[in-house]
Structure 1
């Protein structure tokens, strides 16, 4: 499917998703929101993809919402924010929380600027690999707004409550090292895309079903009761024990290190 603002490149088991509006520092217009949502849906259905790498084109992740573009059309603003029920995710929220809902690891490569809506999208990833000169900010308060793209789902898991308040209320711009010290990013390296590809290769050596089960279990159990956690672990383990990839994983550790995994189970 041809897309204008989001590129999807799948090479064997690794999918690369690239925000592609470089003349605007990959700012988010309505079409990019829609295309990101489509790509997330496509990846969720693709059982051959084991790892996703999310990045921005030409040295920037994203400067955030293109307010001027979206405000030109009230209909587009309504489509971004509309939801049937308050607890559902609207289009603006799905492009962040959607990465958490994918049954495979998602690695965000952060270069240049990662502001506002861009930071909300990055927070949806499982790992954030940042360049040393990247700048990051949860910037919505600067415009008199609350962060409303579901990034707070992840933010509450990676920073303390007072730091979350400080970051969101001040809309301060952080260096990569400051972001690392607060837990907003996973690693700071000289070549984040090289590191992301290395990490993707490592993750692809694990059973795709095991990765899916681990991600689902951790995300759903992080703040749930111990009883829910124990139940989810048992359910996942039974599914893994009955699956073909568990046997392949065992063979890869012993007699057949290059044996290829089967496609991921249909639902996780």
Structure 2
């Protein structure tokens, strides 16, 4: 297990468990946590043994958002968070959200308790969001006179309509799990969100990692692109997959599963007289 002061990374059976660990502050984001998250994302991007990431917060909360007081107490830290060489590049604050989108593996966020502001921006960077029934979510930056500037809009525009994005960000409304699901901000509600995430991770791990990487890239890059770009990207990805070994491994595994189901079905039919 790689342990930072505020972020833990545990690799287990092809799954990376990333946990925000600042429980006394409801996992509020300080400068060091930003740096550790950025480092973890860079580390995972190079690790070919990891097939999926489960991202969560400790002690029953995902994150209460930016620790404004902590960051603003050091002007140098604030500058370091926002600095970028070019306007179109991602700065440190943005990389901890869009960085999950750039990983070639699925990322599942497990959301319990509060998920506000910067915490919500990080969760929006995940591919799948599973929440507990008592979770509370909010794009809360406007409450502090700020604009959401951690790249969460990249995912938000794909999840909700423009009017809903305006409403959620301008009012800073705190949503229940049910309201979040209804608006499309989260994927599922589960009374045992971590167990559900692990089960889903095991299910995804049985498919080809190359195919999953291609699917994630195609969906993310083509969601708002032209049809021509989408068709081109699909064709290129499929050719690469057909030439790779992981397709054969996945096909063989799933073929064996299908045969097992067919044998059980035939036996059951014979027993019932069909």
Question: Shared topology, TM-score over 0.5?
Answer: yes
SS of 2:115's equivalent? strand
Q: CA deviation at 1:254?
A: 2.7
Distance (Å, rounded) in 2 between the aligned partners of 1:103 and 1:255 = 27
Per the alignment, residue 14 of structure 2 pairs with: 13
Distance (Å, rounded) in 1 between the aligned partners of 2:197 and 2:46 = 23
Normalization by structure 1: what TM-score? 0.94
Per the alignment, residue 75 of structure 1 pairs with: 76
Per the alignment, residue 65 of structure 1 pairs with: 66
Per the alignment, residue 176 of structure 2 pairs with: 175
Per the alignment, residue 139 of structure 1 pairs with: 140
Distance (Å, rounded) in 2 between the aligned partners of 1:20 and 1:203 = 26
Q: Which has the higher contact order (CA 8 A, sep 6+)?
A: 1
Per the alignment, residue 125 of structure 2 pairs with: 124
Per the alignment, residue 50 of structure 1 pairs with: 51
Partner deviation per Cα, 1:38-62 (whole Å, 9 max, x = no partner)? 0000001001100100000000000
Q: Are 2:32 and 1:23 aligned?
A: no
Distance (Å, rounded) in 2 between the aligned partners of 1:130 and 1:31 = 26
Structure 1: 5+ residue stretches without partners: 258-268
Distance (Å, rounded) in 2 between the aligned partners of 1:113 and 1:69 = 19
Per the alignment, residue 237 of structure 1 pairs with: 238
Per the alignment, residue 267 of structure 2 pairs with: none
Per the alignment, residue 271 of structure 2 pairs with: none
Q: CA deviation at 1:20?
A: 0.4
Distance (Å, rounded) in 2 between the aligned partners of 1:8 and 1:29 = 18
Per the alignment, residue 199 of structure 1 pairs with: 200
Distance (Å, rounded) in 2 between the aligned partners of 1:143 and 1:19 = 23
Q: CA deviation at 1:251?
A: 1.2
SS of 2:210's equivalent? helix
Distance (Å, rounded) in 2 between the aligned partners of 1:207 and 1:128 = 22
SS of 1:65's equivalent? coil
Q: CA deviation at 1:256?
A: 8.4
Distance (Å, rounded) in 2 between the aligned partners of 1:186 and 1:152 = 17
Q: Are 2:189 and 1:188 aligned?
A: yes
Larger Rg: 2
Moved over 4 A (4+): none
**What number of residue pairs does the alignment pair up?**
257
Distance (Å, rounded) in 1 between the aligned partners of 2:91 and 2:55 = 21
Q: CA deviation at 1:116?
A: 0.1
Change in Cα spacing, 1:110 to 1:256, as seen in structure 2 (3 Å) is closer
Structure 2: 5+ residue stretches without partners: 259-274
Per the alignment, residue 34 of structure 2 pairs with: 33
Bigger CA drift: 101-110 or 247-256?
247-256
Distance (Å, rounded) in 2 between the aligned partners of 1:141 and 1:254 = 52
